[in-house]
Amino acid sequence: MKRGWLLLLGLVPFVFLQQGKATQPETWTIVVGGNTQGYLTPCGCTKPMLGGVRRRVTQTKEACKDHPSLVIETGRLAQGNPSQGLSRQAEMKVETLAETLRFAAVDVIALHPLDRFLGDAGLNGVSRLSRAPLLDTSPMIPSSETMPEFRKGPFGVLNHDPARGKAGIDAVGAIVKSSPETRWMVVTAGNRQEGEALAKEFPELILVVYASESQIAFSPLQVGRVWVVSPGVKGQGMLRLQWNGEALDGYEAVRLDDETPNDPDAARIYRRYQDRVRAEKLLEQMPRTSEAAYAGSKACKSCHTEEYKIWKDTQHADALATLERDFHDSDPECVGCHVVGLESTQGFVAREKTPHLTDVGCESCHGPAANHVKAPEKVRMPKKGAESCYGCHNSEHSPTFDFATYWDKIKH
């Protein structure tokens, strides 16, 4: 009997330890990404170029490996004008994004109002491919895949459209107040000021994610205990937050730069997208609004020998090859800045069909020169300056572009 009591007494510390362990608050990782707007990959000729869904999957997998996680994707999935509908390439991009998000284990997608023009079929496809439910704030889409709220673990996620005014605020308030024990987060299509207003309206929230038109929020705006944040624009960054069981206490703004490798699963999906673009010959289907005739850079060589030699030694003379190495040489969104005359019926078609118009040639800056080559004295070419560069070397593709610096590399 004495021995039995000793055994029981020996279990007491163990039982108390187990109970103490069970009541310890659980640490969670919260990942917020999105506002992709069709930008599946970085585009440009200067470094560092930010963004890309392949990098985002890498960072999301890394962020979620140590703790239970909640992964939220914010809306603006597609690019384009809702009144004009989606182009075929934009459709492919939405499908590719959705399938890629599956490998990031996205839990929920909070739709932006502009995503509604994808329609019921398009949104159902997004949910099916991503395997994630969709949060929407509007009854306009009769889809079984959309819902007014999402819950996981201790958390709840709501979507807010500021265009709904008081009705939108009341909808958020009704759900939040009906479940005060839930740790609520709101994703809003509004800007930072509107996000801050939501945080003030509902101090019981823990997080408000707003839609930025610029860069990622490198530190959270704190309104009481509510953190107001944004993952930035065009999928260039993502947020990693930590919940300690009682409050948010960790924050990292992750810039998706070229130090982040592409995830192999996401890379496979993206390559399939590139193959589809090539197979459907989207480049050949581009509308061409000009009839201008081009001669090709070699036609300039006999009269402009020194200038041609300088051009031949620049990266401009090998511009299409940079796309070919990354399998983007059939992409209508890329090729125009790497060839001559894509907007013309007499311009570049393909390397095999129009080899003289590959790469960034003389006529990329100086304009179509077929008539000048035929009658150089009669048809004069206009002088060009910095304005010729900005069509491709803009703030989006070449954020560090400075004409004086770059001109030194190609001066002729």
CATH of the domain at 302: 1.10.1130.10
- The residue type found at 331 is D
Domain membership flag for residue 332: yes
Is the peptide bond between 48 and the residue preceding it cis, with omega within 30 degrees of 0?
yes
Residue 145 has what pLDDT? 55
Between vectors from CA 285 to CA 284 and to CA 289, what angle results, nearest 5°? 100
Beta pairing, strands 290-293 & 149-152:
unpaired
Average pLDDT over residues 182-209: 97
Does one domain contain both 121 and 69? Answer: yes
Residue 27 exposed, middle or buried by CB count within 10 Å (0-12, 13-18, 19+) = middle
CA dist., res. 132 & res. 109, Å (int) = 7
pLDDT one-digit tens code per residue, 341-373: 999 999 999 999 999 999 999 999 999 999 998
Does one domain contain both 264 and 295? Answer: no
Q: What is the DSSP letter of 389?
A: T
Residue 5 has what pLDDT? 45
Q: In b/e form, how buried is each residue of 152-187, taking b as 16+ CB within 10 angstroms?
A: eebbbbbbbbbebeeebbebbeebbeeeeebbbbbb
Domain membership flag for residue 20: no
Domain boundary residue among 218, 237, 268?
Answer: 268
Does one domain contain both 100 and 219? Answer: yes
Average pLDDT over residues 140-150: 65
Q: What is the DSSP letter of 358?
A: B
Does one domain contain both 253 and 110? Answer: yes
Domain membership flag for residue 69: yes
139: pLDDT strictly greater than 60: no
Q: Which is higher by pLDDT, 81 or 78?
A: 78
Q: How many domains does the chain have?
A: 2
Does one domain contain both 36 and 73? Answer: yes
Average pLDDT over residues 235-258: 95
Does one domain contain both 45 and 158? Answer: yes
| Helix, strand, coil % in the chain, rounded to nearest 5 | 40, 15, 45
- Domain of residue 355: give its range: 288-410
Q: How confident is the model at residue 142 (pLDDT cuts 50, 70, 90)?
A: very low
Q: What does the mean pLDDT of the chain come to?
A: 89
Does one domain contain both 215 and 355? Answer: no
Average pLDDT over residues 206-218: 92
pLDDT one-digit tens code per residue, 23-74: 557 999 999 999 999 999 988 777 778 999 999 999 999 999 999 999 999 9
Does one domain contain both 200 and 301? Answer: no
pTM over 0.75: yes
Between vectors from CA 19 to CA 66 and to CA 179, what angle results, nearest 5°? 70
Cβ contact 134:107 at 8 Å: no
161: pLDDT strictly greater than 70: yes
Average pLDDT over residues 110-128: 91
At residue 345, the 3 state secondary structure works out as strand
Domain boundary residue among 236, 268, 300?
Answer: 268
**Hey, what are 200's tokens?**
């003030």
3-state SS record for 285-331: CCCCCEEEECCCHHHHCCCCHHHHHHHHCCHHHHHHHHHHHCCCCCC
15: pLDDT strictly greater than 90: no
Domain membership flag for residue 204: yes
- According to DSSP, the residues that pair with 250 across neighbouring strands are 242
Domain membership flag for residue 282: no
Average pLDDT over residues 190-194: 95
Cα Rg of the chain (Å, integer): 27
Q: How confident is the model at residue 138 (pLDDT cuts 50, 70, 90)?
A: low
Does one domain contain both 247 and 330? Answer: no
Residue 214 has what pLDDT? 83
Domain membership flag for residue 12: no
Looking up tokens 């007014």 gives 148
Domain membership flag for residue 274: no
CATH of the domain at 127: 3.60.21.10
Does one domain contain both 79 and 224? Answer: yes
Domain membership flag for residue 388: yes
Which backbone phi and psi does 30 adopt, to 5 degrees? -115, 125
Does one domain contain both 234 and 325? Answer: no
Domain boundary residue among 268, 303, 329?
Answer: 268
pLDDT one-digit tens code per residue, 270-287: 999 999 999 999 999 999
Residue 16 has what pLDDT? 45
Does one domain contain both 73 and 116? Answer: yes
9: pLDDT strictly greater than 60: no
